Amino acid sequence: MKVFDLHQDILYHIIENPKNSEILKSYKNIGIEKFIFAIFPFRGFYEFYDVEEPLIYTLRGVEIAYEIERKFHLKIIKRKSDLKNGNIILAVEGLYFVRTIYEIRAVHRLGIRSLGLVWNKDNLICSYWNSKNDYGLTDLGYDVINEAIKLNMAIDLAHCSDKTFFDVLKSFNKNIFVSHTGLRELNNIKRNLSEDMIYEISKINGIVGIAFGDIFLSKLSLKEIAKYLSKLIEKFPYNLSIGSDFYGVSREHQIRNLNNPKHLKNLYNALLEYLPNQTIENFFYRNAYMFFNNVLNGSLSNK
Ligand SMILES: [Zn+2]
């Protein structure tokens, strides 16, 4: 089993307590070859600041990621040639510090290759899923995505509002993915995607990472999740992936036997009851690999 996880929040916990980095030692042994290291731009989950705090936490997260690269021999992926042997793709979860495209160029120089447009608070780029005033993608947001695509960065629509989602898809047809989401058919909240939205992502060769927690998948057991996902994977065999959100889901919302990287094996085994090996491999690893292969290559055509 090889895993390419599109969203993990471990870095946030490492910033809180460096001892939490110890888990990374076991990653290669448990099959986690590649993962997106989300840099969370706030300190407390519900204390919001304007520009200063997100900028400080993004910069701090970048530097700690480079420390981890050295300490645990996990290579940060910056270009296509790094993808084969590299391990970490650096991402920011919300562009709260961005006022012009210069900030995008700067974080690209720092090695960030995936831009989450927003988290659980509106910003100058776009509105988020539970926005009181769903204004969608702003002019600045449009410029930011344009610039990011030129720089071969991925655009992550997790946490976006419906209007933002469709505004982006109206104007862009490459480098777009959703790193961690659930399914509205299971839990009908706007934080999750509907199958129709997954279909829209599949039309532009994007990918969608499935996250594990009851807000994403409702209160199903691991077995029920495997059964449900196997049908969805059959519908979208090349466009679904893992986006675990491990370490980002609070204890009371976690799924039994599917709440940390060591548990991915449980899901793999449960899926074997329904799907051939190769299809599961695609879901766990190859689909995400091929997406980033295209992003880092700049190979897909734009509208
Ligand atoms: Zn998130």
Cα(94) to centroid of ligand 1, in Å? 9
pLDDT band at 149 (very low <50, low <70, confident <90, very high): very high
Distance 57 CA to ligand 1 centre (A): 16
What pLDDT, in 10s, does the model give residues 116-145?
A: 999 999 999 999 999 999 999 999 999 999
Over range 64-75, report the average pLDDT.
Answer: 94
What pLDDT, on a 0 to 100 scale, did the predictor assign at position 52? 79
CA of 191 to the centre of ligand 1 (A): 9
The beta-carbon contacts of 81-86 under 8 Å, at least 24 apart in sequence, are 82/296, 83/289, 83/292, 83/293, 83/296, 86/34
**pLDDT level of residue 53 (50, 70, 90 thresholds):** confident
Cα 159 to ligand 1 centre (Å): 7
The CA 158 to ligand 1 mean position distance, Å, reads 7
Nearest partner of 215 among 251, 254, 177, 178, judged by Cα: 254
Distance 276 CA to ligand 1 centre (A): 30
> What mean pLDDT is reported for the chain?
94
CA 244 to ligand 1 center in whole angstroms: 10
Per-residue model confidence (pLDDT) at position 169: 98
Extract the tokens encoding 25.
């030692």
pLDDT of residue 43: 73
Whole-number Å distance between alpha carbons of 259 and 250: 10
Q: What spacing in Å lies between the alpha carbon of 45 and ligand 1's midpoint?
A: 11
193 is written with which tokens? 């995607």
pLDDT exceeds cutoff 50 at 303: no
- Length of the chain equals 303
For residue 39, the CA-to-ligand 1 centroid distance in Å is 10
Q: Is the pLDDT reported for residue 281 higher than 70?
A: yes
Arithmetic mean of pLDDT, 207-229: 97
* Span 158-215, pLDDT tens digits: 999 999 999 999 999 999 999 999 999 999 999 999 999 999 999 999 999 999 999 9
What CATH superfamily is the domain 3-297? Metal-dependent hydrolases (3.20.20.140)
pLDDT per residue as tens digits for the range 250-269? 899 999 999 999 999 999 99
Q: In the structure, what pLDDT confidence band is assigned to residue 222 with cuts at 50, 70 and 90?
A: very high
pLDDT tens digits, 80-96:
999 999 999 999 999 99
Mean pLDDT of 148-154: 97
Predicted local distance difference test score (pLDDT) of residue 129: 97
Give the Å distance between the CA of 180 and the centre of ligand 1.
7
> Would you state the pLDDT for residue 48?
59
* pLDDT attached to residue 299: 54
Ligand 1 centroid to residue 7 C-alpha, Å? 8
Tokens of 221: 């057991």
What pTM does this model have?
0.95
